């Protein structure tokens, strides 16, 4: 779906696990379209897992996206520069290991794109050695 230049009345609908990548996609403008996305998720995957998440579509500066790995409450960035938002999130999530994907919006503020359990997370800008050092800190 194409978005008008400054339109902000689009919403991203997904369940707790995954967005709808087939059929009509996960973008909705109205409650009726959001219900259509939810029905399509249930039909395509057999069920809605955990519940639904609805988020307003925002304009991000895609080249600023970064993955933060969190081990034992400590956030790590591939370049050592951990945004304050990642530190705040890491302190709130009681998980031994997870990822935080952040991106800057057009105003320059960090926004959370996704939290992941780390099981299927790509390394993105991380080298295997640098990620292994983070994992080694877990005891």
CATH number at residue 72: 3.30.470.20
pLDDT in tens, 45-72: 899 999 999 988 888 998 999 999 999 9
34 in the same domain as 96: no
Name the band, by pLDDT with cuts 50, 70 and 90, for residue 1: very low
CA distance 36 to 32: 6
CA angle 108, 26, 15 (to 5 degrees): 95
Does a structural domain hold residue 6? Answer: no
Q: In this structure, how many other beta carbons lie within 10 angstroms of the beta carbon of residue 15?
A: 20
φ, ψ of residue 31 to 5 degrees: the values are -60, -35
pLDDT in tens, 105-127: 999 999 998 888 876 666 778 77
Token representation of residue 63:
């080249």
30 in the same domain as 43: yes
E strands along 44-107, which residues?
52-56, 60-71, 74-77, 97-105
Q: Which domain holds residue 36?
A: 11-56
């Amino acid at each position: 779906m194409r978005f008008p230049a400054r339109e902000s009345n689009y919403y991203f609908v997904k369940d707790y696990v995954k967005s709808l990548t087939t059929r009509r996609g996960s973008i909705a403008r109205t409650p009726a379209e959001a219900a259509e996305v939810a029905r399509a998720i249930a039909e395509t995957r057999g069920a809605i897992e955990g519940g639904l998440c609805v988020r307003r579509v925002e304009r991000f500066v895609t080249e600023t996206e970064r993955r933060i790995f969190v081990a034992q409450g400590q956030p790590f960035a591939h370049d050592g520069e951990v945004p304050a938002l990642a530190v705040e999130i890491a302190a709130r999530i009681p998980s031994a290991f997870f990822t935080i994907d952040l991106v800057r919006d057009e105003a320059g503020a960090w926004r959370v794109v996704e939290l992941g359990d780390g099981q299927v997370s790509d390394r993105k800008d991380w080298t295997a050695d640098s990620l292994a050092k983070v994992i080694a800190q877990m005891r």
